[in-house]
Structure 1
Amino acid sequence: MNVIQRSAAVETAGYMSGFGNGFETEALPGALPVGRNSPQRCAYGLYAEQLSGSPFTAPRATNERSWLYRIRPTIAHWNSLRPRAPGLWRSAPCEEGRDLPPAPYRWAPVPVPQNAGSFIEGIRTVTTAGDSDAATGMAASLWLCDRSMTDEVFWNADAEMLLVPQMGTLLLRTEFGRIHLAPGEIAVIPRGVKFAVDVEGPSRGYLCENYGGAFTLPERGPIGANCLANPRDFLTPVAHYEDRETPHRLVVKWGGRLWETELPWSPLDVVAWHGNYAPYKYDLRRYSPVGPLLFDHADPSIFTVLTAPSETPGTANIDFVIFPDRWMVAENTFRPPWYHMNVMSEFMGLIYGQYDAKPEGFKPGGISLHNRMLPHGPDVDAFEGASRAELKPHKLEGTMAFMFETRLPQRVTDWAAGLAERERGYEHYGRALKRYFDPARP
């Protein structure tokens, strides 16, 4: 489906809807060439540039690319790059945290410090998994920032970036257009897409760098055509360009390191584009959950919003899973998440509200990590309460938790291990669970 900004509703919103569609959009009339991608001379004196998110020979269903019509091509933005200090940003493989014993971990919310800096300066990595050069695995970070990226632009050549804001609103100025982002929403910036982040006051959020295949919608299987995340609710920005001949800093993440250079202009200069490789946003409150209607407990995979597949069918490089408002109606069933160990490692965050398996200790802005094949489950208060509760239909409201779940073990960085907000002794929460076994009482 090709969409050009014709609908008044679309133009007002500044977005086009649909996931994985082919879009076309222009900020100046006639900027998009008709019937060809790279004409001999582009309208308005623009340059044609293709951005490919997949190999050229990828099958049609997985082939990702967009044509950009811009004031200058990216190669014209290229000056000699110099190394830039990464701060507390880390990439996999990372040797930090090797001496930290395998155990469940949890962190209280980390406050945004004064003069935290820009989005790029404020990224602090919590866990890494896999190998960015081998295009497998992920990194999970916090951003803590209070300054807009004025005259500074970034692109990540190593990873697709999933942004989950928890506090404060953002304006993402991308090559493809502008995205407003608030807590309860997410945005995905594909590999190689240039962008800048403007903030209004302090901002805190969770960042997942996906080194592997791009995020896509999970298959619904027997669920059928509807529910979960519906494609029409994903929004892609319409074209918006900056024609500013003022000094800019360009920052690039490549090979697990940061590099930078100076430019005499803004590189966010795409006047028109078409294709299916573009940033997008999604409001998590539009997710349509499904669940057990009579008894028992479904696997948390029923709450998958996006999945990044691996080479092993059914095993994700990353799943992005949420726990939103929903009804609990199962009869004769322990309703919170059960005690379990599994092959996926779970980085969890709470955007707002209360999480039913940890009603007291897990706070908005906090983090927990339950790694591959390590035990976890409800704390004693959640267990005792759920075991004795009268099982009437109950609605969980005002809550939004999520997981970055990967098949790979997640290594905790030195920064995260040393935080005062890390709850020492959290791994012992299971010791408070009482023995109830009595062979004389069935």
Structure 2
Amino acid sequence: MTGLTRLKEAIERHRENKDINIKYKTPLTMTEKSEAVPGALPIGQNSPQKAPHGLYTEKLSGTAFTAPRNENQQSWLYRILPSSSHQNFQPVPDSSSQSLQSPSPSFGKHFNAIPNQLRWDPFDFDKEVSWIHSLHLIAGAGDPQMKQGVGMYIYAAGASMPEKTAFYSGDGDFLIVPQHGTLDIRTEMGNILVRPMEICVIPRGIRYHVKLHNEEPVRGYILELYQGHFQLPELGPIGSNALANSRDFQIPKASFIEDFENTEWTLYSKFGGNLFQAKQHHTPFDVVGWHGNYYPYKYDLGRFNTMGSISFDHPDPSIFTVLTAPSHGHGHGTAVADFVIFPPRWLVAENTFRPPWYHRNTMSEFMGLICGAYDAKGAGKGGFQPAGASLHNTMSGHGPDMQTYEKASTMELAPAKVGEGSMAFMFESVLMVGVTEWGLKTCAKVQEEYNDHSWGPLKVHWKNPGTRGLSNGEAQKGVGDGKDHSSVHDTK
């Protein structure tokens, strides 16, 4: 799949968006506005004594009121009834069909923080459950109550959410990465259709309903961000254009339902890692107009403008970052979460080992595969497969498997296209990521022989230069005997 082909497919997906009432706008940087009925937005002020058309004014704040102007995120909603109009929330019983299958562990508990390299076989579809019940927390770090850390989920659903239900996470922003099937999402601020090769971000607190498009089962990945919000990475010496360009992000147009007489809706809230429900006698989707810079948005991965080396050596994978969430407490340029992709691209570096090098990283790396085969790992049964995943935690060594190394270290280095028909991604975090019991045991998808299959067969190619000129018998002395063969010259 060439870059031009990917762009043409992205353009075709854009043309299809005419059916879902969506528009291109810069994400989370400038104030936007949308109204489903002309005149729904007040002119010249946010909260008039009486809002237009008899609507209620409601402010939705994604940051503290006093956050710096360039970081402040908020939107004003003009709706038929305010979101506060509902009955008390009650915990959802574990036996309910709408319960969370793997609730978030409390701070510092129940996450299995282990240094082992982990890889999972493809996760199964579940045709019996809808969105909420399909959310499986597989790994994470921190605590949503402290607004610190991240959660990494697998979702797999075979049914739309029941009619007259809505869901929101009070714990953090959802970055949704579909692997199979299309999500038809109605949010308070409008509709978004999200397909594989696209991503969607639904910020903390925004209510939504997930319908399966054409009733096709869905499966994918979610990164929940407990602290801060996603933003575009700084480009530095790259300049003003590259990677994900702000013009290619999309936000919904205002769309509302009139349903507030003789009706009952159920609102589900993920709060502190647990699930609650409340009844209300009106639809949550009654926002007639809104303006601000706190809203859901989507991005087509086919529009990512990949950068790379055109001389020698393999650049850091940070050049593939789509979105980032800085972790100011861990130092400049460090992220509590990065969303990184590995799209089809040309490799032309000379005298260079082109796949990712072997490395140990202070960052934790959770990878998934949307389609195709990842160029650094073997595919097929027992390999890195679409709908599977891997986790290489803080300072856990990893890199290409034996077959990939042998091929890449001996191949002719002509210009080559890698990743055709493929899209891998990474959730990267400065935090030490733990694995839930569901992810480690219950799902029964962990590849127990991952380490042995990937790096156990690596061959020794070492040739001791100190044996040159010696007879064969003399050269063999000390080879592989485990002794220290350093010389006094090593200290100079």
Q: How does 1:246-325 map to 2 (within 5 A)?
A: 246-311=263-328, 312-325=331-344
Query: Number of paired residues?
Result: 432
More helix by percentage? 2
1:424 aligns with 2:448: yes
Give the whole-Å Cα distance in 2 for the aligned partners of 1:169 and 1:315: 33
1:178 aligns with 2:186: no
Give the alignment partner of residue 43 of structure 2, picking from 29, 34, 43: 34
Give the whole-Å Cα distance in 1 for the aligned partners of 2:141 and 2:244: 26
1:136, distance to aligned residue in structure 2 (A): 1.6
Give the whole-Å Cα distance in 2 for the aligned partners of 1:157 and 1:27: 26
The answer for the alignment partner of 1:102 in structure 2 is 115
Give the whole-Å Cα distance in 2 for the aligned partners of 1:206 and 1:101: 22
Structure 1: unaligned runs, 5 residues or longer:
1-7
1:41, distance to aligned residue in structure 2 (A): 0.9
Q: Which residue identity is paired with 1:258?
A: L
The answer for the alignment partner of 1:243 in structure 2 is 258
Give the alignment partner of residue 22 of structure 2, picking from 4, 14, 19: 14
C-alpha spacing 1:183/1:11, structure 2 compared with 1 (3 Å): closer
Q: How does 1:285-434 map to 2 (within 5 A)?
A: 285-311=302-328, 312-360=331-379, 361-396=383-418, 397-418=420-441, 419-428=443-452, 429-434=454-459
Structure 1 contact 66–278 (Cα < 8 Å) conserved: yes
Give the alignment partner of residue 214 of structure 1, picking from 229, 237, 254: 229
Give the alignment partner of residue 191 of structure 1, picking from 171, 196, 204: 204
Give the alignment partner of residue 169 of structure 1, picking from 168, 172, 182: 182
Deviation sequence 1:64-106 (CA, Å, 0-9, x none): 0000000111111x211110134323325363353x7420000
1:254, distance to aligned residue in structure 2 (A): 1.4
Give the whole-Å Cα distance in 2 for the aligned partners of 1:265 and 1:94: 39
Structure 2 contact 127–159 (Cα < 8 Å) conserved: no
Q: Which residue identity is paired with 1:74?
A: S
The answer for the alignment partner of 1:5 in structure 2 is none
Q: Which residue identity is paired with 2:230?
A: F
1:10, distance to aligned residue in structure 2 (A): 9.4
Give the whole-Å Cα distance in 2 for the aligned partners of 1:213 and 1:35: 30
C-alpha spacing 1:370/1:57, structure 2 compared with 1 (3 Å): same
Give the whole-Å Cα distance in 1 for the aligned partners of 2:253 and 2:111: 43
The answer for the alignment partner of 1:439 in structure 2 is 464
Give the whole-Å Cα distance in 2 for the aligned partners of 1:286 and 1:359: 27
Structure 1 contact 145–203 (Cα < 8 Å) conserved: yes
The answer for the alignment partner of 2:238 in structure 1 is 223
Structure 2: unaligned runs, 5 residues or longer:
1-14, 469-492
Q: How does 1:7-156 map to 2 (within 5 A)?
A: 14-19=22-27, 20-76=29-85, 78-84=86-92, 85=94, 86-92=99-105, 93=107, 95-98=109-112, 101-115=114-128, 117-149=129-161, 150-156=163-169
1:11, distance to aligned residue in structure 2 (A): 7.3
| SS across alignment from 1:158 | coil
C-alpha spacing 1:301/1:359, structure 2 compared with 1 (3 Å): same
Give the whole-Å Cα distance in 2 for the aligned partners of 1:133 and 1:279: 22
1:359, distance to aligned residue in structure 2 (A): 2.9
Structure 2 contact 148–227 (Cα < 8 Å) conserved: yes
The answer for the alignment partner of 1:4 in structure 2 is none
Mean Cα deviation higher: 228-237 or 359-368: 359-368
TM-score normalised by structure 1 residue count: 0.95
Bigger Cα Rg: 2
Structure 2 contact 114–434 (Cα < 8 Å) conserved: no
Deviation sequence 1:297-344 (CA, Å, 0-9, x none): 100011000000112321101000000111011011000011000110
C-alpha spacing 1:264/1:94, structure 2 compared with 1 (3 Å): farther
Deviation sequence 1:369-397 (CA, Å, 0-9, x none): 00001100000011011111111111121
The answer for the alignment partner of 1:205 in structure 2 is 220
C-alpha spacing 1:9/1:57, structure 2 compared with 1 (3 Å): farther
Pairwise CA RMSD: 1.7
Structure 1 contact 10–16 (Cα < 8 Å) conserved: no
| SS across alignment from 1:417 | helix
Mean Cα deviation higher: 205-214 or 246-255: 246-255
Q: Which residue identity is paired with 1:409?
A: M
TM-score normalised by structure 2 residue count: 0.85
